[in-house]
């Protein structure tokens, strides 16, 4: 049995939110903070451009493939214990990475970071889910958490730029020791100790799910360097389809011992939320990637200036996250708010397709970034809150793991697809417009712009498609309104589907 968690009257709950927020920020910003430091790390440790991708891919592979197992461990071992273990392990791996003396040591440290991140992220969200049960307070808490989930990438660019430019690339990893120390202190002080469930771990399910997710993320990661026609790309993707199908069949047969009880994901509202998070991950990481390229290569921004350029977007996102979860989501529900948020993000990205060699940041880039921030601040907190609403306390960890898995797989898919499309667009532009060999600098500059705008356009289509699909998938709440208003309607619907 799971021991009682904090009630809505526990005065420590807002300190718990602060603790979880620090841990969440540490995990989500780590996906981008290292990207800013990559050129400096590459110069000092002397590794090739082809090897460079493994610094990012190693983290993604470990994180993505172990999330479901990490979420289940949170349910079986106890949320507080898993949370602390994840924090200490993540900090230790970060220290190892910061002290790296070779490329192999850095990649190994990033792999460990991903593994402990997969333990930490579901535990953090499940702590939040089981602590805040009052609808109004839950909305405020998820406004903060969802805002960090959406803004973490941009915050990573800001922090990574500052640390790289004013200190050293190693501090993009050492900074995690500060975050982890604060979160460990908060966890030991404010989190209630819980006992896990008396239930065995589905080892076969863990192996199938982990291997399937590993193959999926690996296949996407090989799309850009190898091409979509390569065996190294589609081979793992086919293997992932087989393994994940076997995983689903295993979960159906495992009954109460299932790693991921299928009722957690088959609820219609919850499934729509997972789709929204996946779409946001796919479009968001692509926007940050190509936005960073444009600011640094075309506008000549330094890493620190690039991070500052995303600051207005972060502020808009945080503001909209609170407005959405506290005012609009309780009134209109996710069927309205999530599609609106994804649609706004699509509009912002569509605006970025107009940039050219004469564009300026304030006139041509900032408006699109801010509208995208408004969309992400509207969609992400609403989707995350709905995805974890009404989940049985004993399954909070694995439900939280599916949230993180959706964002991670979306990011891997979006990065792979958008990188491939952008590269093809640049090559096609050079082929069509070059009159000299090698092509003139002006042609190459315009080809780069064409690749960025193409990527922004495809990202906009991803968000637009997600807006339409989630609008169709989310259930209407009218029938449940009489049962106690909007908040009660949502709880009733999700539990009915569970």
pLDDT of residue 243: 93
Lowest-confidence range among 223-237, 331-345, 395-409?
A: 395-409
Q: How far is CA 233 from CA 98, 289, 442, in A?
A: 31, 21, 34
Instruction: Determine the Cα–Cα distance for residues 419 and 226; give it in Å rounded to an integer.
Output: 12
Domain ranges of the chain: 13-192+259-497, 202-258
482 has a pLDDT exceeding 50: no
pLDDT tens digits for 151-174? 777 788 788 888 888 888 899 899
What percentage of the chain carries pLDDT values higher than 70?
89
pLDDT tens digits for 88-106? 999 999 999 999 999 899 9
From 1.20.1250.20, 3.40.640.10, 3.90.700.10, 3.40.50.2000, which CATH number describes the 13-192+259-497 domain? 1.20.1250.20
pTM over 0.85: no
Which has more confidence, 287 or 480?
A: 287
What percentage of the chain carries pLDDT values higher than 90?
26
Q: What is the mean pLDDT of residues 319-345?
A: 90
Which has more confidence, 405 or 360?
A: 360
338 has a pLDDT exceeding 90: yes
Q: How far is CA 302 from CA 120, 153, 305, 310, in A?
A: 32, 17, 5, 13
pLDDT tens digits for 184-207? 999 998 887 766 555 677 778 888
Instruction: Determine the Cα–Cα distance for residues 60 and 71; give it in Å rounded to an integer.
Output: 16
Residue pair 477/268 in contact (Cβ under 8 Å)? The answer is: no
Buried b / exposed e over 114-134, threshold 16 CB at 10 Å, is bbbbbbbbbbbbbbbbbbbee
> To the nearest whole number, what is the mean pLDDT of the chain?
82
CA 332, distance to chain mean position in Å, is 25
298 has a pLDDT exceeding 70: yes
253 has a pLDDT exceeding 90: no
pLDDT of residue 368: 94
337 has a pLDDT exceeding 70: yes
Rounded to the nearest 10 degrees, the angle between the axes of helix 13-45 and helix 79-98 is 20
Alpha helices in 356-440 (DSSP H): 366-388, 396-433
Q: What is the DSSP string of 249-294?
A: HHHHHHGGG-SS-HHHHHSHHHHHHHHHHHHHHHHHHHHHHHHHHI
Helix or strand holding residue 95 (H, E): helix 79-98
């Amino acid at each position: 049995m799971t021991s009682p968690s904090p009630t809505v009257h526990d005065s420590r709950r807002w300190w718990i939110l602060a603790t979880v927020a620090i841990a969440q920020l540490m995990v989500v910003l780590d996906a981008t903070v290292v990207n800013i430091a990559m050129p400096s790390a590459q110069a000092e440790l002397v590794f090739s451009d082809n090897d460079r991708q493994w610094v990012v891919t190693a983290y993604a592979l470990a994180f993505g493939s172990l999330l479901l197992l990490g979420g289940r461990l949170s349910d079986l071992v106890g949320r507080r214990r898993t949370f602390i273990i994840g924090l200490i392990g993540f900090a230790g791996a970060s220290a190892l990475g910061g002290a790296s003396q070779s490329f192999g040591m850095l990649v190994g440290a990033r792999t460990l970071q991903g593994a402990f991140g997969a333990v930490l992220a579901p535990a953090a969200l499940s702590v939040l889910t089981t602590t805040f049960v009052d609808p109004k307070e839950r909305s405020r808490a998820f406004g903060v958490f969802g805002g960090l989930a959406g803004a973490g990438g941009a915050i990573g660019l800001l922090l990574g730029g500052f640390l790289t430019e004013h200190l050293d690339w190693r501090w993009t990893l050492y900074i995690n020791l500060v975050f982890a120390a604060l979160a460990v202190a908060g966890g030991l002080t404010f989190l209630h100790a819980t006992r896990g469930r008396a239930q065995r771990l589905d080892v076969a399910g863990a192996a199938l799910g982990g291997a399937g997710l590993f193959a999926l993320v690996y296949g996407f990661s090989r799309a850009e360097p190898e091409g979509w026609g390569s065996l190294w790309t589609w081979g793992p993707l086919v293997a992932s389809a087989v393994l994940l199908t076997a995983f689903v069949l295993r979960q159906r047969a495992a009954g109460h011992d299932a790693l991921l009880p299928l009722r957690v994901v088959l609820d219609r509202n919850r499934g729509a939320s997972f789709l929204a998070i996946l779409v946001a991950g796919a479009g968001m990481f692509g926007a940050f990637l190509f936005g960073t390229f444009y600011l640094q290569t075309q506008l000549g921004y330094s890493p620190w200036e690039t991070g500052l350029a995303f600051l207005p977007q972060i502020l808009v996102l945080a503001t909209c996250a609170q407005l959405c979860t506290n005012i609009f989501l309780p009134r209109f529900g996710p069927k309205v708010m999530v599609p609106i948020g994804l649609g706004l993000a699509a509009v912002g990205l569509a605006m970025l397709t107009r940039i050219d060699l004469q564009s300026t940041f304030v006139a041509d880039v900032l408006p699109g970034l801010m509208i995208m921030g408004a969309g992400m601040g509207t969609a992400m907190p609403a989707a995350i809150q709905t995805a974890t609403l009404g989940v049985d306390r004993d399954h909070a960890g694995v439900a939280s793991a599916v949230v993180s898995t959706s964002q991670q797989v979306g990011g891997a898919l979006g990065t792979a697809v958008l990188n491939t499309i952008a590269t093809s667009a640049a090559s096609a532009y050079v082929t069509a417009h070059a009159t000299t060999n090698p092509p003139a600098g002006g042609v190459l500059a315009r080809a780069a712009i064409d690749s960025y705008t193409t990527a922004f356009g495809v990202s906009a289509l991803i968000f637009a498609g997600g807006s339409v699909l989630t609008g169709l998938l989310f259930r209407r709440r009218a029938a449940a309104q009489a049962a106690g208003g909007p908040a009660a309607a949502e709880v009733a619907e999700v539990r009915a589907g569970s």
